[in-house]
């Protein structure tokens, strides 16, 4: 395979040493980053506590924009998660070898992103203590959740996705946790021993594990399509101009994969450098991600175009007016940032020199992340600001509480990812060893 270069490890023990070497005791820079992220997380959590105690009035949410950046962040983080599952599950089924070195980190990104996404409905709810009303159980109110509501679909889809993703990620780590157990001593050995569940790599275990892992990937695959389609229906099943469109499901799924791939680049480029994983996560792998982003960027751009075409072709004056306002109204800067970052940015990857340059890869990844965040902002806030009745038009600005909670969510994500990098193998050890066997090098 073209990304299996001469610098890659040539024996099983070399592979294990390179990957498990990343778990060596970290330096001050690492701990500094962890503490900084922890402070950000605690700051965000304290702002949430302030909101609970004071009331939702501290957020900028008000008529007519009743869904603000809490929902923007919810959709953003769910979208980020999808690429991890694409890389770890879908590309596994398609036998794309280049995914092996990045699948573990990508799946970790998925798990953390879904966890954070799941927090935002609670944050947006305000009265967090009544969240259980959405759980279907016999109750004294004689009520059941309305299964026709997309919000209930969301509850089912996100909880399913979190369960499946986290178990898929954990099960994929079992043989590697056993390897860590076997080379550790003392308390570490005990902890890894517990988490490895006593895995020993017998032929019986591998037989059932191999079949089960294939089935896990097969289950995770439709979730990539279904979960973000369900999230998109939170909007598409309303009658708000700019939301009520049949393109929303594929539009959101493509956008999710687009933003997730960008986040994979943003995370993996520093990770491979700081942990010494360059022999395994080579530029060819990152180039494959960049090429995929060209495709997803074009799909997203096509979706933008189709939205405008449908708004015009439908003859619906409210829909058309909303889309004109998006491009030239109060949120026009955010709209154009969205278009440039999401569509034009990834087109730079058509140039080989750019898509094989780490600095450009990282920069475009950041640009697309920003653009995709603004896409959700423009869709959610932009549409609610400019609905049917002119007297009900209004603008929204996030308050410091909302921005602080958002900062807390990003801090939490980085905090969890940093812990992941140092406590579990960031690259799949046994799958990389299988590569050696397949390529006849061991």
Partner 1 sequence: MGIFTSLGQLEEAIPLIQQKGAKVRTVYSPIDCREILEKIGVRKTSPVRFATLLGGLAGLSLGVGFAIYTFLEWRFVTSGKPTPPAVPLVVVGFEMTILFGFLSTLLCMLFLCGLPRLRGSQGYDPRFSKDRFGLLLECDRAQREEIEISLEQAGAEEVRVLRTRETSQ
By CB under 8 A, name the one of 31, 206, 313, 423 that touches partner 1.
Answer: 206
Q: Does 147 bind partner 1 (CB under 8 A)?
A: yes
Q: Does 219 bind partner 1 (CB under 8 A)?
A: yes
CA dihedral 2, 6, 7, 9 (to 10 degrees): 100
Residue number, 89 or 123, with CB nearest to partner 1 = 89
Q: Does 31 bind partner 1 (CB under 8 A)?
A: no
Q: CA 256 to CA 260: how far, in whole Å?
A: 6
- Tokens 């015009």 belong to 312
Closest residue by Cα to residue 83 from 318, 435, 313, 369: 369
Minimum Å gap between C-beta 247 and partner 1 is 18
Stretch that binds partner 1, among 126-134, 145-153, 269-277, 338-346 (CB under 8 A): 145-153
Q: CA 296 to CA 306: how far, in whole Å?
A: 15
Residue number, 216 or 304, with CB nearest to partner 1 = 216
Site string for partner 1, 153-172 (x = CB under 8 A): x--xx--x--xx--x---x-
Minimum Å gap between C-beta 89 and partner 1 is 11
Number of chain positions touching partner 1 (CB under 8 A):
55
Minimum Å gap between C-beta 139 and partner 1 is 12
Residue number, 175 or 345, with CB nearest to partner 1 = 175
CA dihedral 28, 363, 94, 156 (to 10 degrees): 80
Residue number, 207 or 352, with CB nearest to partner 1 = 207
Q: CA 62 to CA 73: how far, in whole Å?
A: 17
Q: Does 200 bind partner 1 (CB under 8 A)?
A: yes
Q: Does 183 bind partner 1 (CB under 8 A)?
A: yes
Sequential DSSP letters for 120-143: HHHHHHS-GGGGGGGS----TT--
Residue number, 221 or 245, with CB nearest to partner 1 = 221
Residue number, 111 or 286, with CB nearest to partner 1 = 111
Phi, psi (rounded to 5 degrees) for 65 = -95, 95
Closest residue by Cα to residue 101 from 15, 214, 201, 12: 15
Residues contacting 364, CB < 8 A, separation 6+: 262, 265, 290, 293, 345, 346, 348, 349, 354
Q: Does 39 bind partner 1 (CB under 8 A)?
A: no
Tell whether the torsion through CA atoms of 72, 78, 81 and 83 is positive or negative: negative
By CB under 8 A, name the one of 94, 215, 340, 350 that touches partner 1.
Answer: 215
Minimum Å gap between C-beta 96 and partner 1 is 18
Q: Does 21 bind partner 1 (CB under 8 A)?
A: no
Phi, psi (rounded to 5 degrees) for 62 = -165, 165
Minimum Å gap between C-beta 237 and partner 1 is 10
Site string for partner 1, 339-358 (x = CB under 8 A): --------------------
Q: Does 199 bind partner 1 (CB under 8 A)?
A: yes
Sequential DSSP letters for 274-343: HTT-TTTS-HHHHHHHHHHHHHHHHHHHHHHHHHHHHHHHT--HHHHHHHHHHHHSTTHHHHHHHHIIII
Minimum Å gap between C-beta 175 and partner 1 is 7
Residue ranges binding partner 1 (CB under 8 A): 11-13, 16, 136, 142-148, 153, 156-157, 160, 163-164, 167, 171, 174-175, 178-179, 181-183, 197-212, 215-216, 219, 222-223, 226, 230, 430, 433-434, 437, 442
């Amino acid at each position: 395979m073209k990304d299996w270069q001469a610098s890659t490890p040539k024996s099983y023990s070399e592979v294990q040493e390179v990957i498990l070497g990343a778990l060596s005791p970290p330096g001050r820079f690492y701990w500094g980053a962890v503490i900084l992220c922890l402070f950000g997380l605690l700051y965000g959590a304290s702002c949430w506590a302030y909101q609970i105690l004071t009331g939702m009035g501290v957020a900028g949410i008000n008529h007519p924009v009743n869904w603000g950046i809490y929902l923007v962040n919810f959709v953003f983080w769910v979208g980020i998660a999808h690429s991890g599952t694409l890389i770890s599950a879908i590309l596994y089924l398609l036998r794309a070898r280049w995914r092996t070195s990045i699948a573990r980190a990508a799946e970790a990104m998925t798990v953390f992103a879904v966890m954070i996404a799941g927090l935002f409905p609670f944050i947006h709810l305000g009265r967090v203590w009544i969240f259980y009303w959405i759980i279907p159980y016999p109750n004294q109110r004689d009520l059941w959740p309305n299964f026709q509501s997309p919000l209930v679909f969301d509850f089912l889809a996100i909880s399913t996705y979190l369960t499946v993703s986290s178990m898929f990620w954990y099960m994929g780590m079992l043989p590697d946790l056993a390897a860590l157990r076997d080379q550790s001593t003392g308390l570490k050995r005990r902890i890894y021993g517990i988490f490895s569940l006593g895995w020993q790599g017998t032929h019986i275990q591998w037989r059932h594990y191999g079949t089960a892992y294939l089935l896990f990937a097969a289950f995770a695959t439709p979730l990539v399509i279904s979960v973000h389609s369900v999230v998109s229906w939170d909007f598409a099943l309303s009658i708000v101009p700019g939301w009520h469109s049949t393109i929303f499901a594929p539009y959101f799924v493509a956008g999710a994969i687009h933003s997730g791939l960008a986040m994979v680049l943003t995370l993996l480029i520093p990770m491979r450098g700081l942990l010494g994983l360059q022999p395994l996560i080579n530029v060819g792998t990152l180039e494959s991600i960049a090429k995929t982003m060209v495709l997803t960027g074009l799909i997203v751009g096509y979706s933008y175009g189709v939205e405008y075409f449908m708004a015009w072709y439908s003859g619906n004056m409210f829909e058309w007016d909303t889309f004109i306002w998006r491009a030239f109204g109060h949120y026009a800067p955010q709209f154009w940032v969205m278009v440039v970052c999401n569509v034009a940015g990834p087109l730079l990857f058509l140039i080989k020199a750019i898509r094989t340059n780490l600095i450009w890869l990282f920069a475009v990844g950041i640009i697309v992340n920003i653009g995709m965040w603004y896409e959700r902002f423009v869709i959610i806030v932009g549409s609610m600001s400019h609905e049917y009745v002119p007297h009900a038009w209004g603008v929204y600005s996030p308050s410091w509480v909302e921005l602080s909670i958002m900062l807390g969510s990003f801090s939490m994500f980085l905090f969890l990812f940093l812990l992941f990098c140092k406590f579990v193998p960031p690259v799949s050890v046994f799958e990389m060893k299988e590569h050696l066997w397949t390529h006849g090098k061991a």
